[in-house]
Structures are given as C-alpha cells and as structure tokens.
Amino acid sequence: MTTINESYPNIGYVLNRLADIADTKSLATKGKSRFRKEEDLASRKSIDPTLIGESVRHLFYEPISKVVTDSFAQFFSDSIWMGLNNYVEIIKRAPMEGVAQEKVAYMLNKHLVVETLASIIWKVGVNQMPTNTVPSFYCDNYPIKALIAFYESQQTLPENDIKRFFEGTDRTVRKWRSGEELPNIGNLTLLAQWTSLSNSDAIDEDKETLFLTRFIDSFHRKTHHQFVNDLKDAVVWRLQHNQEPTLDFGQVFHQFYINEISSANLYKLSAEGNKLHKLLRRSSTKPLGSLVDYSARLASLQKSIEEHNLNDELQYHQDWLKGRLLLLSGEIEKALEHYVSAVEFSLYKSGENIRNLLKEALAVAAIQSKPHKPTLKKLKSRALTFCPKIIEPHLRALPVKIGNEDIEDWKLWFVMRFPKSGWFDEGKSLLMQRMEELELKEIAEKCG
C-alpha cells in the first residue's frame, strides 16, 4: 500500500490517507468530517477551502490536541494545510498524460508527504535540540523502535521499567521495542508519562516527540520504506540552508513526464493524437467525406491507446475528440455527453488542452435546446477550481451560480470559436438551425 495510490486523487482521498498515517481518525468524532469518506469528493472534485479547513481541523487538530499539546496540534494541522496547498498546485500543473499510475502516485507521495514531513521535522527538531540539529531517531528506518530504545537507556531504575508501567501488556511492549508494531495514538499519552519517569503530567516535549515519531514510522511502513532516504535528504537540506526549499513543481513534473514518454516509446501514439487534433480543429475546413475518415482515425487511435494500456490516462482525450467530432457533425446533444465525461476524466491534468476543453464544454452545454443548469454549474465549478481565468471576473463569485449572463456569454463564445467554416457538411444544416433557434444565425453567418 502507498499513501496515495490512485493516479489523480482528490483532496478528500488525500486527507483520509494522511489521517490514516496519523491514526487520528480513531479519535475523530465519527461522521463529523466533511471528507470522511474516500468517495465523498469523487462525484464533485471541487476544492472548497472552507470545507478543507473544517476537515483538517476535525481530522488533525481536534484529535491531536487530545493527546499532545494544543500549540503542537495547531502547528501540525497548519503544516498539513500548507502541504495540501502545495498538492493543489501539483495537480493543477503536473502533465500526467500517458504516465503509469503507480509512477504518478510515487511522485505525489514524494513531493506532497515527504516535503511537508521534512519541514515539520526540521522545525520541531531544531527547537528540541540545543545544537539546532535534528534528533537521529526522526531519520531512522523504524523511528518508534529507536525512540523507545533511547528512552529506556534513560530509565535505569527498576521502578521505571516500561513493563511495570504498562502492566499486563508484555506482548504489546515487546512488539513496540522490536519495531514490529506501532503504538496506537491512544497509547501515546501513557508512553509520554512513562518517558517522564512515570509522571502523570508528562512534559510537552515528550508528547510531541512521540506523536511525530509515530507519524514518521507509520508513513515509512505504509510506503514500504521507499522514502526513508528522500526524507533524510529533505531534512538535511533544510538544516544546511536554514530555510525551506523553493520547489518548481511544474518543472519537476514536466521533466518526469518527458522521461516517461521517452522510455515508454509513445511518440507514435502521440503523433497520431496530435494529427487527429489538428484535423478536428474548430476552425479547420473539413473536406467532403472527411467525417467517415476522421471517425475511422479516432477508432484507430482508441485501439492504439488500448494497446499501450493507457485508457485511464487518455480517456479524457478520446472523449474530447469524440465530442468535437459529434458536435461538428450536428449531433449537439450526444456531443455534450462526451464533453462532460472528458472534463471529469481531465481533472488534475494541466496545460492549454484542459483550458480549451473546459471552455468548449461550457459552450456546448450552453447551446443545448434546453440548457441544463446543474450540468452547467458542475462544469463552471470545475473551471473555477482549475482554470478560473476562463470565467469572466464578475461571474466568479462563490458559491457557484448559473445565471442568464453566464449562458449568453458561453453561447457567444461558441459562435465566435466554432465558425461555420469548420463544420462538417453533414452538420451544417443542423448547426445553423440551432443557431437560428438561439437567435445567433446572423452572427454565425458573419463569423463563418
């Protein structure tokens, strides 16, 4: 199991994975978190800062403050919140088309969890150590095992033996000592009392150290220890430079994408898709009989995608091209189904393609004989999340609403950007009839 194990995860999914690492869901009030279910955001995939903030507080601040300190719980929650902001930037900018899902998951784990965790370790560690270094157990393969061994070396008196403090739990203590098992978050307070020489009022530093060490250990176990060295390197960099690194996520993922495309020998597939995209441009003239030819090319492209086992990664592209082909041939209602599907599959991908797709989807939804406002609202919500600049500034208010001005704006965009010269012969009469119904025939003639 990896921390993030789907190719383009939503925020609700990531929050739940992070809470699983921290074991904080066990102390959170059941049913209260807005993102309590993995699928909770799957149908919408919007990014509402208020909802995320409420869930971070519920899944992290409230449970952690019960077992650690209020100030540390606030610091840790703020760090998770900042990490999620970085994550949002990653998923908006990282070009992931055609890349195997497990490799994308690896990169997301590395650049979301590792960097966030390294910052927490650096800030907490330097405050705990007089020399402004970081305690070695934070960078151990099994941090809890190393930490308990350290505490036991300080507990030399028989009355402070861990077995006596946790009476009747020899088997559990043995598993903690050996690194076989992690203490659950409910035991951290008791452990902190033991580390403070069995004092019922455990010192704050012990509580913080135990929680953070357990979190690190849990992360390494859930990712099969593949990020131990990455985490060490990230912590060391911060110690050496005494600052946070400036990471160009766009460049990091762009290079990653180029390397993957090269190694998988996908240039032929890329060329096929690019060629069909040019043939189906909104404004390019479609020769007589080309509808049959382009439909066959699209079917061939789909076969090629299946051969490379890239259906999940390129489904949005297939739906987009199918939608445009149907639209330009006059099948306006059928086209919208593919545009909506393409938008859903394109979420968390980036680049000019996605901006164009969202613009087209809004326009196609607006020119339906009876525009469906819930569909328009969903598309507009996606646009405001990932490409807000394609919506007019005065129409970007939240919560998302659909008014006549929105619909008129997107209708006009369709007429201007889908000129008559780019329609298939089979679709010209049907599209012009729709333009006449929308009282846009005159403009369509001028833009043709």
Q: Kindly report, residue by residue over 147-160, the tens digit of the pLDDT.
A: 999 988 888 777 77
Q: Describe the chain by its helix, strand, coil percentages, rounded to 5.
A: 70, 0, 30
What SS3 class is residue 149?
helix
Retrieve residue 308's tokens. 């490379």
- Asked if 195 contacts 206 with a C-beta cutoff of 8 angstroms, the reply is yes
* Cα 166 from Cα 149, distance rounded (Å): 16
pLDDT(44) > 90: no
For the cut 80, the answer to whether the pLDDT of residue 334 exceeds it is yes
pLDDT category of residue 4 using cuts at 50, 70 and 90: very low
* pLDDT above 50: residue 326: yes
Could you report how far apart the first and last alpha carbons of the chain are, in Å? 55
pLDDT digits (tens, 9 = 90+) for 84-108: 877 776 666 555 555 666 677 677 7
Q: Which two tokens stand for residue 339?
A: 């545009």
> pLDDT (tens digit, 9 = 90+) per residue, 163-196?
777 766 678 888 888 888 899 888 888 888 888 8
The CA angle 28-224-118, to the nearest 5 degrees, is 65
Confidence of residue 212 (pLDDT cuts 50, 70, 90): very high
The tokens of 346 are what? Answer: 């394109």
**In this structure, how many other beta carbons lie within 10 angstroms of the beta carbon of residue 189?**
18
Tens of pLDDT along 340-378?
999 988 876 666 788 899 999 999 999 999 999 999 998
Placement of tokens 């800062």 in the chain: 49
- pLDDT bin (cut points 50, 70, 90) of residue 306 is confident
Residue 311's closest CA among 98, 4, 42?
A: 98
The closest of 86, 119, 143, 82 to 239, measured between CA atoms, is 119
CB 119 within 8 A of CB 238: yes
Q: Between 249 and 350, whose confidence is greater? A: 249
d(CA 45, CA 38): 11
Residue 289 corresponds to which tokens in the numbers above?
Answer: 């009989």
